Chain A
């Protein structure tokens, strides 16, 4: 006997809304379906009526964790359209913030994975360490979430010797702790036992479903935009693409911890080789007619901005594809033949970034799986009708005071 279960829009693993519908056979998931659109904000339409420089701050607000990824992807695209080459010091500082963001995002994810696996002290540890990175970002950009470091032709703030020294000191601490986590993630029997074999995604399926980022790399495919299509100064920075062959949640955890260590190496390299000179050049306001396909390796995977310009100061079209959307078809594949108890873990393993509700899902008859979807307007009508039936008219009893 198969059951259909609706999970969400308030998801147990995330603080963002997405609706999952699962066809279950006992506790085994046979099929899964995703419903999106709870937080569709129309940013692509809005971008067409804003100037390039205004869109710099709009694209940053697409995401609250990888804000710098979207902004950098957009900036690099527009710089290509403007035929601008930012000064090397500007590029070094830009990549520095990119890598600091990756460190904070991966530490955040490790904490979430620990929590979903029932290992809450791990969550406490990684989130404590994440504060170290957040403080660095706050110190060099003035902000904890939206750093606003980018501008066309470079970055908006320079860093000084004292900041450099503080970052290098913090790195020593982070490196020591991350090595401990790598050891823990690979050897702690309860943690390994909970993650190993969960959410299998074969290499062939991962490639066919166009998965990106750590999800793809944990299935044994060494695809990283920083290596394949190097932007900024990644072609002169030494680093390795981290992969795992286990194709499960454990592999995705190991890939992220290894990437943390790579990011520390990159940050150290950048600070020790930081060139002298200006951090930005002047940019034009108008952009001649052209188009660009900008790729960026965000913490969650390949981020894509496709920008068309029409000769004015506003873009003709801005298409954004965030890494999470690319990973949804793969997530459905991972959920199939898994258990209900693994849903939070599998779903959290792609490090999803969604975001506001507009409707309600009701299962009329859980036995037959018939569902009834109410739209927001129907829901409002229902609420109004119900309110009309309630008798609010003058109460007979007078208020005693």
Chain B
């Protein structure tokens, strides 16, 4: 979103209200989504919409809605929706794709080749309307003549919401979802749907398998094994701590040793799970399941 707009929506003197820092901390504690102090104006603009909806007169009064009132859980959910709104579009994290290309995939391909494997398994958990799995599909297709020569891959995309899954399967997107997709990729992997929207080609759709999966459903989660990469963006924010920990246990066993989990760019697993190793790449972070016998050394 345009930060200038958000900045102008919230007067700078309002940002000095310490209630915003408390709201930030409540959100972090419950959802794992963090806003640095310098970006509080973004949080304030999201809160402003909810504050006017519930008719809260001040950030301090709104904080009460999030902490003390009977309907706090519902209000937190609505606020989380506001915070993550607009985060779903294709190619929304170039540093993540660059890390895949330059560091992660070469590492995984090396390890799998050594064992005689030539297939990658990728899971977009909580795929919403499909922007993430289609981005991954385009990225991998573009690499198929370079990094991935001789390799095949499959992408599993799951969500709990049937309407989101139906939209994802249809693969019809407007300018917002495609705003970071280059003209070249649009021409290659989409066809005109109407005068404002494009639709994913059958080739692109055929690379993604959509399924309805509830991440809290142990029976289904147990069977999703052998993943190299899991992407789970802004989904865990809606889970309580116990459920988050359970999902993380599943993700850990769903991944192959040496595999990576990626969360939303403002999400953290702090105090949720300590088996994953937090790995920094230029401009992005991932959570790594180290291979058996890894004893540190700084470089996965």
Genuine A/B complex: no
Residues on B facing A (Cβ under 8 Å): none
Residues of A with Cβ closer than 8 Å to B? none
